[in-house]
Amino acid sequence: MLSVFMAVLRRDLLLAWRRRSDVLTALGFFLLVTSLFPLGVGPEPDQLAQIAGGVMWVAALLATLLSVSRLFESDEADGTLEQMLLSVEPLAVIVLAKVCAYWLLTGLPLVLIAPLIALQFSLTPDETLIVCASLLIGTPTLSLLGAIGASLTLGLRGGGALIALLVLPLYIPVLIFGAGAIDRWRAGLEVGSNLALLAACLLVALAVAPVASAAALRIAQD
């Protein structure tokens, strides 16, 4: 199964490299949203620092929703998805590999660019580290949950809007724990509990999302 996982991961990374515009869309959206808030709110450092965690997390969530709808579209269009469904290898492993590739291309760049965004919000080094740690743990969960929505709406018109309706309720706990980490730090409280809850959400998503997405893909192709 590991060889299949690595093969699918490598394939999706190579295909994404040929379609770099799709990859840059989510990153560009994240940069645009997080850059507009300091311009709209004003240059007051304390006020910017108070909203930084929420703004960065909402921007990451919306960037994921913007791009996750295309997770399985190209495979369905060229017939690859049908071959995956007919494969003797577990479909859940293939789905997990595709989600990992998607996160490496869309979620990880958001984490890497977060320290630069933090400068706009006048965050301290400790606060920047907390935001980056929460995004590093939480964005894979957003990708996994988004894959469920993408598989359920595959082939439907207006699938992007339907994905938002399906997965936004699932995103709410991740958003609360992620954005709340920096607030707890600023209040002098321990942030480890928030990060642990984010890690728990990630483990649950890892266990459930690939299986649920695989089942939804089989139903969509029947």
Two tokens at 7? 């093969």
| Exposure string for 110-134, b = 16+ CB within 10 A, e = fewer | bbebbeebbebbbbeeebbbbbbbb
The pLDDT profile of the chain, 222 residues, written as one tens digit per residue, is: 778 888 888 988 888 777 777 678 888 889 998 888 888 777 777 888 888 888 999 999 999 988 888 888 878 777 788 888 887 788 899 999 999 999 999 899 999 999 999 988 888 899 999 999 999 999 999 999 999 998 888 867 656 677 888 889 999 999 999 999 988 888 878 888 999 999 999 999 999 999 999 998 888 776
Question: What are the Cα distances from residue 110, in Å, to 52, 73, 87, 182?
Answer: 14, 23, 33, 17
pTM for this model (two decimals): 0.91
The Cα angle at residue 117 between residues 101 and 125, in degrees rounded to 5 = 105
- Write down the pLDDT at residue 160: 65
What range does the domain containing 202 cover? Answer: 2-221
Q: Give 176's contacts (C-beta < 8 A, 6+ positions apart).
A: none
Secondary structure in 3-state letters for the chain: CHHHHHHHHHHHHHHHHHCHHHHHHHHHHHHHHHHHHHHHHCCCHHHHHHHHHHHHHHHHHHHHHHHHCCCCHHHHHHCHHHHHHHCCCCHHHHHHHHHHHHHHHHHHHHHHHHHHHHHHCCCCHHHHHHHHHHHHHHHHHHHHHHHHHHHHCCCCCCHHHHHHHHHHHHHHHHHHHHHHHHHHHHCCCCCHHHHHHHHHHHHHHHHHHHHHHHHHHHHHHC
The total domain count for the chain is: 1
Yes or no: say if 77 and 202 are a contact pair by the CB < 8 Å rule.
no
